[in-house]
Amino acid sequence: FSPQGSPEAAAEAAAAAQGRDPPAGGAARSGKRAAPTGAGALQPAKLSRAELYKPPTSEELSQLKETEDLFHSSLLRLQIEELLKEVTLKETKKKKIDAFLHEINSLLSAIPETPETELTDQAWLPEGVKVPFLQVPFSVKGRFRFLSPAELKVVGSYLLGTCIKPEINVDVAVTMPREIFQDKDNLNQRYHRKRALYLAHIAQHFSKEKLFGSVKFAYMNSNHLKPILLLRPRGSKDEKMVTVRLHACPAPGLFKPSRFYPSKNNVRTAWFMEQSTPKEGAPEPPTPHYNNSILCDTVLLSHLHFLSSAAADFPGMKDGLALLKVWLNQRQLSKGLGCFSGFLVSMLVAYLLMKRKIVKMMSGYQVLRSTLQFLATTDLSVMGISLAKDVDASLPVLDDFHQAFEVVFVDPSGLVNLCADMTASKYHQVQFEAKRSMEILDDRTVDGFQVLLMTTKPMLRAFDHVFHLKHVSKLQGTCKKMQLLNELMDRGGNYVAAALPFVVSLLARGLARRALLVTHSLPQISEWPIDAEPPKHKDVGPLTFGLLFVPEFAAGTLEKGPQADHPEALDFRTFWGEKSELRRFQDGSICEAVVWQADTVCQKRLIPEQIVRHLLKLHMDIPESSICYTGALLESVIRTGQEASGTGEEAMVSVVCSYDDLSRKLWNLKGLPLTVTAVQGVHPALRYTDVFPPIPMKPIYSFHTRIRTKHLLLPSEEKPCPAYIAPLKIICHMEGSGQWPQDKEAIKRIKAAFHLQLAELLQQQHQLVCRPAVTHTDVYKDGYVFRLQVAYHREPLILKEVVTPEGMLKYQDTEESRQLELETLHLPYLTSSLHGLQQQHPVFGSTCRLAKRWVSAQLLSDNISEECVDLLVAFLFLHPAPFTPPSSPQVGFLRFLDLLATFDWKNNPLIINLNAGLTDADLTEIKNKFVAARSRLPVMFIATPKDRWSSMWTQERPSAQILQRLLVLASESLRALEEQLMDPLNSQDVKMVFRPPLDFYDVLIHLNPNQIPRHLESVDRPLKSFSRGVVKNSTAVKILFPVVDYDPVQCYLQELREMCCRSWSDRVAVVPGRLWVEMKGWRLNQGWALALGCLAQPLFSTQDAFSDLALFFYDKHGGEVIAVLWKPLSFQPQPFKVASMKGRMVTTLNNELVCIPNVEAILEDFEVLGEGLVKSIEARTEKWTI
């Protein structure tokens, strides 16, 4: 045959053109020819030009059309195809599983029979096995014997081909022969106990077989009435391969279906309460859940036939179900009591097929979309659905089911409610997730595949507040208080399942206005060995509840009820108990109302906690000690001051108010030669993201050295270092004018003159204490220090002017012009954008502060800019998919850690669409350019509407190594935090992730706490603190200017990074106690300006010395230790040169003179430079070798 014309070759080419793998028959295309595997082996075909360019077939055209219409892009189609390949079972595995099932079949028929005994006489069971059923009460009528199964059938997803990895479960129905049952086995758990004994006997025999790696019991979907037997093959690899689940079910036609209608009773009160005689005339309550659990066993096979007829000739159903199961797994909805299981979603797809909402032509992606659309728009807790086709008049109708169950989805038999155990709240969560997913799929700017199918949504990150009911055994008291005896009988004594719907609906009512969603975790019980007692109801562990808030109403302090004379008032009073009181409102109405106590913003955020605790205590008898509320545990690290005041939001608002007032004063200044055109704040406090907002302060003079002639204060050497006062930087734009010079030096002088004049006019017109300098003017107002910096809009352009050697004038970016643009254009824009974001999302600022506190606590704040962290957090609010924007700082912080740890920084830009300034086309362009120029761009690339190509906030830092370190720390912190927050029974010391691991560093420099001005900001607040020489602000007008921006540790770090090593050490000492600098023959009072200047600029502009030997890390918020890491290259011997002897000593290596670091001398220098500040130096010599 000719290779060109072969149909196989054409198929292979078509597959390759569409990005698919070639058919299995085709040889792989590689450099080598495929070895012939027989006479007819295919050789790689070389296509002719005509073949390559022939028009697409109609099938290919329809595929392209489908891709265009349905998937946003061919990429989404390819991603979904890859995912399906990943989760579906391979043929080789199927063969192994089939062989395993055949062996189980032959073993089952060989199990010996047992003689008949009373149900309560279980002495025939050997020691090594316990009945997998909670037999309470124990006494029950009936007899039992074991007979071989009547038949064995594989049911469920394995046969349909819809089971997905990683957990492959094969369900096998073992039909118990009719002879082991008697009349009335439907009553009082007799059937359930026979079923459990039947499985126990099988388990006991199987446990001796070599075929099995493990034989264990489990509850089906954690339902205590339905134990199943789990069998796994022997061999460590095979044991993980598959779990065969044996379900015992009754012989067909054993029970009359009419006995199990939802309104019928099958558990007698007298038996359940262990009373000898039933009460006369008392009606028996219906037991719909109990009835449903027996009916489920009778329809296993009919469900299989129903689903297989639906799946016939419908390849899209298989793919769609795999995608839906992945979707449910990622949202933790598919396991536990009342889950939305894979079986349930298969039945739902079959229902949509029956109703023609889905047709057999559809692809897997269309099935996913149609199912999500149906879930999003249909509330099964209000209007149930049924698969029963021909309505038999004797069968119960949907209303009967609605009276008995919260969520209704009836199977084809018309008898079984498939959603019997599901609470309405869990269904509403599924509905909410489906709505959100449809929005995401319709949004072209979001990578729907990544967000919907690859991102997990654990409760802690999906809900704003999470709380745990630590001891579920307290729900017994709830059942008593709420008189839930009927529900307990129906649920076989399971008080968790009986009380849960009532708890959730109570909370949903109490939080109606505040919460979008109130949901709970699904009670789950893990499998257990066959020789252990079955788990009790309390073994589900703590129950977790999630609250998703409506941000506008979540923190309201008032719950307004009906007017006092309305009939609903009594109901309102009963619901809220003693918290309800009569109040007169401004409109004159007198209403019932509940007012919650909360003064600060962070207390208002926790009003839902007060509501939850109050209602559970009042109506459910659940004590406060049993509730572990983890909504705001992390906020303690950004609390200000020692008293348990707020988390700084109020302080931030007062800073912004003071700034607004100052900007108004600047606008209206009289006597300036040019008017002020704009006043823009750039300090983080003015966008609500300063970790510890400035507190108004007034200096205590006795703590300072006073220089009266200059009206100045300097730190006193006998006293602790004064409290840190941050200057709040403000950019003052002056109007343009022809009078502005065109020379950069002249502009600087004009700006200096403006600084002087601004100080003078503010002093004259508004009595503000000012201190002018060449580059800025400091204004002391309301106890804050504002730093005004004048800007002229053409200055950056003038700084870009460069004269070429030929005398041509051209414009190019210089370091100076970039820096000025950053300060006067980009930073003000960023600050105002983020200020706007804070107005939309009230917890944005607090989330940023937590994130920055964490970065600083890891000693990395010098290695990643504050603006960069602010932007990362902004991303979480502007692009929250698959979540909703955070409504609590804690959930925002957890998502920040997750973003850092999981974002693919290497291959993707992080695009933050501030003020919706980017269109779809812009986003595509940024991504394409990023890919093309990746090697030249920063390791962490952040694009915003005003900064699309340069990623200015991450240009210099972080470096690749620091980013890597940050990712490792973020992923570890997230793991540790989530573990702690989800384990209410252990001590929850969440500050653990804010304590950095120090064993990674080579040298630790321990500092003297009384010279650390921000000592009170440390993660673990010091037990004793020092008086820092300031008092909270008073309204004094005549005042000496406080010491601004003075942090000895930062000065010291700057010295370490920038000063020469041995050559300067005998002439300079940076000693906080003795002010900053002391030089031989140079008295301080002459040089105060220089001394103060040292805070902002390095003292000596000598070449770097220590910075090429080591990296220095410090937590600027009160850290007591500076961590030092030697650079690996600095320890390699260098050839001897006189010019490069800083910090080195000479030694001989192979008869050559070489330089190596003089570590002893360097460490001595560390101590000399930090005299008075450094307490001790801990050198970990075992960590390095020279």
| Per-residue pLDDT tens over the stretch 1120-1169 | 999 999 888 877 777 777 666 666 787 877 777 888 888 888 898 889 88
User: What dihedral do alpha carbons 131, 220, 229, 134 form, nearest 10°?
Assistant: 0
CA pair distance 1026, 1016, nearest whole angstrom: 9
Write down the pLDDT at residue 75.
77
β 676-681/727-734 pair status: antiparallel
Does 960 score more than 90 pLDDT?
A: yes
Write down the pLDDT at residue 655.
94
Write down the pLDDT at residue 1074.
33
Read off the DSSP letter of residue 180. Answer: G
Write down the pLDDT at residue 13.
38
Token readout for 764 is 């004259």
Higher pLDDT, 1083 or 916: 916
Read off the DSSP letter of residue 909. Answer: -
Write down the pLDDT at residue 1186.
60
CA distances (Å), 178 to each of 111, 171, 185, 331, in order?
17, 21, 11, 42
The residue whose two tokens read 């920055």 is 852
Write down the pLDDT at residue 1071.
36
Does 1033 score more than 60 pLDDT?
A: no
E strand segments, 1120-1179? 1121-1126, 1134-1135, 1144-1149, 1152-1157, 1174-1179
Higher pLDDT, 116 or 29: 116
Does 35 score more than 50 pLDDT?
A: no
Write down the pLDDT at residue 343.
92
Write down the pLDDT at residue 125.
87
Tally of CB atoms within 10 A around 834: 24
Does 82 score more than 50 pLDDT?
A: yes
Q: In the predicted model, what is the mean pLDDT of residues 159-186? A: 87
Does 526 score more than 60 pLDDT?
A: yes
> Strand, coil or helix: what is 145?
coil
Nearest to 422 by CA among 388, 380, 462: 380
Write down the pLDDT at residue 462.
94
The residue whose two tokens read 């200047």 is 1093
Nearest to 446 by CA among 906, 913, 844: 913
**Vertex 899: Cα angle to 456 and 517 (nearest 5):** 50
Highest mean pLDDT among 34-38, 69-73, 319-323: 319-323
Mean pLDDT estimate for the chain? 85
Nearest to 1056 by CA among 1120, 1011, 1123: 1123
Q: In the predicted model, what is the mean pLDDT of residues 666-680? A: 93
Read off the DSSP letter of residue 515. Answer: E
Tally of CB atoms within 10 A around 922: 15
* H runs (alpha helix) in 982-1008: none
Write down the pLDDT at residue 1035.
53
Higher pLDDT, 572 or 10: 572
Q: In the predicted model, what is the mean pLDDT of residues 375-398? A: 88
Write down the pLDDT at residue 1005.
95
**Vertex 37: Cα angle to 31 and 43 (nearest 5):** 45
Tell whether omega for the bond before 166 is within 30 degrees of 0, i.e. cis: yes
Write down the pLDDT at residue 674.
92
Does 1083 score more than 60 pLDDT?
A: no
Write down the pLDDT at residue 33.
39
Write down the pLDDT at residue 390.
74
How distant is the alpha carbon of residue 1053 from its chain centre? 35
Write down the pLDDT at residue 641.
63
pLDDT digits 0-9 by tens, 848-862: 999 999 999 999 999
The model's confidence at residue 809, banded by pLDDT at 50, 70 and 90, is confident
Does 280 score more than 80 pLDDT?
A: no
Q: Which of 178-187, 384-393, 562-571, 1137-1146 has the lowest mean pLDDT?
A: 1137-1146
Does 325 score more than 80 pLDDT?
A: yes
Nearest to 716 by CA among 700, 727, 732, 695: 700
Nearest to 732 by CA among 789, 667, 795: 789
Nearest to 372 by CA among 296, 297, 321, 298: 321
Write down the pLDDT at residue 752.
95
**Model's pTM, two decimal places?**
0.89
Token readout for 870 is 């602010």
CB 490 within 8 A of CB 479: no
CB 505 within 8 A of CB 407: no
CA pair distance 881, 439, nearest whole angstrom: 10
Q: In the predicted model, what is the mean pLDDT of residues 756-764? A: 94
Does 431 score more than 70 pLDDT?
A: yes
Token readout for 488 is 């307990």
Does 639 score more than 90 pLDDT?
A: no
SS (H, E, C) 608-620: HHHHHHHHHHHHH
Highest mean pLDDT among 113-122, 673-682, 1156-1165: 673-682
Q: In the predicted model, what is the mean pLDDT of residues 210-231? A: 90
Q: In the predicted model, what is the mean pLDDT of residues 303-331? A: 91
Does 6 score more than 80 pLDDT?
A: no
CA pair distance 984, 669, nearest whole angstrom: 59
pLDDT digits 0-9 by tens, 571-617: 999 999 999 999 999 888 999 999 999 988 989 999 999 999 999 99
Tell whether omega for the bond before 137 is within 30 degrees of 0, i.e. cis: yes
Which residues lie closer than 8 Å to 860 by C-beta, 6 or more apart?
Answer: 958, 962, 965, 966, 969, 1113
pLDDT digits 0-9 by tens, 501-514: 999 999 999 999 99
Token readout for 1169 is 């430079």
Highest mean pLDDT among 319-328, 801-810, 1096-1105: 319-328
